[in-house]
């Protein structure tokens, strides 16, 4: 299990994480552009969490040999996965709520004033859909349900990798190793 602790030192592991995020974003765009399923605000926020994980993977990919970038990538992965899990679970809960009156969300994403992504790239970040609509299901779960499972899996894997990385760093005979070749 300690070999899992070496994953953050390997660019290939970060590349796999990046490719997984790219696949998720590709699937989101397929659902939006080809199947004409309009994303809602919570969908866009989940998309941003996947982008955060992907950006963390890029940091890890190019900086896996430096302890600071490796830890920044791990923290970004964990934070984005956690935020994505919270948003996806809230969205799933909203869709499965018995009271349809509460199955609404904001009309536009709440991005910072200095980065209004929904205005700069409306094809990717505009949110014309409604949060309560269940337009797609697979094996009994809608999109928010599957994203909850995916974010929970990514968070669990991130926690395991981080814990194993800490353990493997302290079990080296030199103590805490800050740089790996």
Distance CA 7, CA 29 (A): 30
* Catalytic member of 21, 40, 70, 164: 40
How many CB atoms are closer than 10 A to CB 98?
6
**Residue 21 is among the residues annotated as catalytic for this protein:** no
State both tokens at 112: 């910072």
164 is known as an active-site residue: no
Q: Which of 93, 103, 73 has its CA nearest to residue 148?
A: 93
Task: Identify which of 11, 87, 91 has the alpha carbon closest to the alpha carbon of residue 49.
Answer: 87
Active-site residue, selected from the candidate residues 21, 47, 70, 164? 47
From 21, 70, 131, 164, active-site residue: 131
Name the catalytic one among 21, 70, 105, 164.
105
Is 70 one of the catalytic residues? no
Mark whether 47 is an active-site residue: yes
* 131 in active site: yes
Question: Among the options 21, 43, 70, 164, which is catalytic?
Answer: 43
To the nearest 10 degrees (0 to 180), the angle between helices 67-96 and 41-63 is 160
By annotation, the residues acting in catalysis are 40, 43, 47, 105, 131
């Amino acid at each position: 299990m300690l070999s899992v602790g070496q994953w953050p030192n390997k660019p290939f592991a970060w590349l796999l994480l990046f490719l997984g995020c790219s696949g998720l974003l590709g699937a989101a765009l397929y659902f939006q552009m080809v199947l004409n399923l309009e994303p809602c605000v919570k969908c866009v926020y989940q998309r941003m969490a996947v982008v955060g994980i992907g950006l963390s993977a890029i940091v890890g990919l190019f900086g896996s040999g430096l302890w600071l970038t490796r830890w920044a990538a791990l923290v970004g992965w964990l934070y984005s996965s956690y935020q994505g899990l919270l948003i996806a679970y809230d969205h799933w809960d909203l869709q499965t709520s018995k009271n349809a009156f509460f199955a609404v969300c904001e009309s536009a994403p709440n991005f910072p004033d200095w980065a209004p992504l929904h205005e700069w790239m409306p094809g990717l970040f505009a949110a014309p859909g409604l949060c309560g609509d269940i337009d797609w299901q697979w094996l009994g779960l809608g999109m928010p349900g599957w994203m909850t499972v995916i974010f929970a899996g990514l968070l669990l894997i991130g926690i395991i990798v981080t814990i194993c990385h800490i353990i493997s760093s302290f079990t080296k005979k030199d103590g805490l190793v800050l740089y790996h070749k």
